[in-house]
Structure 1
Amino acid sequence: MRSISDEIFKSIELKIINGELKAGDKLPSENELCKIWNTSRVSVRPALERMMALGILKKVRGGGTYVSASDSPYSLSPLLAFAIFRDESIRDILIFRKVIDVGIVKGCAANRDDDNLKQLKLCLEEMEHSLASEDRVKFNEADLEFHMEIARGSKNPLNVKVYEMLRHIIRKNQININVMLGISSSIKEHRNIYTAIEEKKKKKKTFF
């Protein structure tokens, strides 16, 4: 059974997704939300704090709480990601990522610059070092950043947004994902992706 705080979170979430609340809109004050929900700040405040932690809302000192602007560093992608993928299994999410990976890797191979390749190599090296030192946290972050850099290298902002959404979901389930895929096989797969991106640009051949 969901708590009142969860219900408030869910209500605001749906209003944003449905367009009732848009980027830049001001939320009712905590006191007003307490009256709307017939509850106390003990329930209202945690819901707002969770949304601010996700970057969905932002608090302006002396000015209230607002829906984050879509072009701010804190986009709505975490919220949309959880909304879209809430009921999907980890396996389904990974299959989805694998399907879109094909096109995005192609785009990166065709459009990446030397800086993209350098960043991919740094991520790959960080993954290898983290594997050797058994630092799962650093390994996971390097893995996620590797895929984000592929999206950036494609030079398509939509790819970046899609991967940003996936990153929030995958980070939340990273431990289970590592168990399912195996870290060693993941390193090998990432090396192959890096080589394909590097060589396709250099030789102008199709690797996919």
Structure 2
Amino acid sequence: MPFQMIEAEKLASAVVRQIENLILRGILRPGDRLPSERELAERLGVSRPSLREAVAELQSRGLLSTRAGSGIFVADVLGSAFSPALIRLFSTQEDALDDYIAFRRDMEGLAAARAARKGSDTDLALVDTIFRKMEVAHTKRDPSEEASLDADFHMAIIEASHNVIMLHMMRSMMDLLREGVFYNRSIMFKQRTTRDALLDQHRAINDALQARDSDGSQAAVNAHLSFVRRCLADQREADKHEGVARLRLQKEVGS
């Protein structure tokens, strides 16, 4: 008969599985520091030797890393998503910017539709909380905080979609945004009219999500990122015109 003796799962294996799941679901993020060995063992209800065995296993799998004198951290599991050479190439090619925005628009539109359908009330409360912070930051003259919250808002929607493949892929895309590989978001937020329009667009996305309007959420994301794409195209054209104008001025002053 095809039956085998059932064995009790080792405590270390249960710890490994729990931490793996937290990383997979994006709850533990690259760079996050784990609690001290004593505290983590107490939280998990396991002995310190069992915890050490689990940590060693996760380190061998490349999911955790140790920093001398600092503790144990979640490894940068997405560090190789884009090589430094490819990132530099992205930053020098105009077409890459258009493709980046188009890709984000397609994927985030799908994520928003999924979030409206599958996100929990807590997921949507988090999105709303970040948007309320954006409203407060919008009243400040310095746009840097609002620009930072913009990335957090979009990432919260992706997390609310509960698709782990999309989550990790889009987190790497958002890292490129935060690092300013394609464009400096702060520039977009400096113009008051553009800044007002961006806030209204985020409000439309949030309203559709809170209403659990799947189609409306996707449409609002598409409209927002299409607007971003147009603004960046206009800025590139304006920069080119400014370059030509400066050449003309130099010629006139020098003549």
TM-score by length of 2: 0.48
Please tell me the residue identity of whatever aligns with 1:87. L
TM superposition shift of 1:58: 4.5
SS at match of 2:89: coil
Please tell me the residue identity of whatever aligns with 1:110. R
Asked if residue 124 in structure 1 is aligned to residue 131 in structure 2, the reply is yes
Distance change in 2, residues 1:129/1:195 (3 Å): same
SS at match of 2:76: coil
| Aligned counterparts of 1:156 and 1:206: Cα–Cα separation in 2 | 18
Aligned to 1:187: 199
Aligned to 2:250: none
TM superposition shift of 1:73: 2.8
Aligned to 1:167: 174
Contact persistence 1:90–1:177 (CA under 8 A): no
Aligned to 2:81: 80
| Aligned counterparts of 1:57 and 1:140: Cα–Cα separation in 2 | 31
Please tell me the residue identity of whatever aligns with 2:200. K
Asked if residue 144 in structure 1 is aligned to residue 151 in structure 2, the reply is yes
Asked if residue 113 in structure 1 is aligned to residue 115 in structure 2, the reply is no
Contact persistence 1:148–1:164 (CA under 8 A): yes
Per-residue Cα deviation, 1:91-150 (whole angstroms, up to 9, x for no partner): 432222112111111110101111111111111111121121134332122111111111
Per-residue Cα deviation, 1:34-55 (whole angstroms, up to 9, x for no partner): xxxxxxxxxxxxxxxxxxxxxx
How many residues were matched structurally? 143
**RMSD of aligned Cα (Å):** 3.1
| Aligned counterparts of 1:106 and 1:197: Cα–Cα separation in 2 | 8
| Contiguous gaps of at least 5 residues in structure 1 | 1-55, 63-67
Contact persistence 2:115–2:161 (CA under 8 A): yes
Equivalence map 1:1-208=2 (5 Å): 58-61=65-68, 73-81=74-82, 83=84, 85-88=87-90, 89-173=96-180, 176-180=184-188, 182-200=194-212, 206-207=215-216, 208=218
TM-score by length of 1: 0.57
| Aligned counterparts of 2:158 and 2:109: Cα–Cα separation in 1 | 11
Between structure 1 and structure 2, the one with the greater Rg is 2
Distance change in 2, residues 1:86/1:95 (3 Å): farther
Please tell me the residue identity of whatever aligns with 2:178. R
Please tell me the residue identity of whatever aligns with 2:171. E
TM superposition shift of 1:178: 4.3
Please tell me the residue identity of whatever aligns with 2:141. E
TM superposition shift of 1:184: 2.4
TM superposition shift of 1:176: 2.1
Contact persistence 1:126–1:142 (CA under 8 A): yes
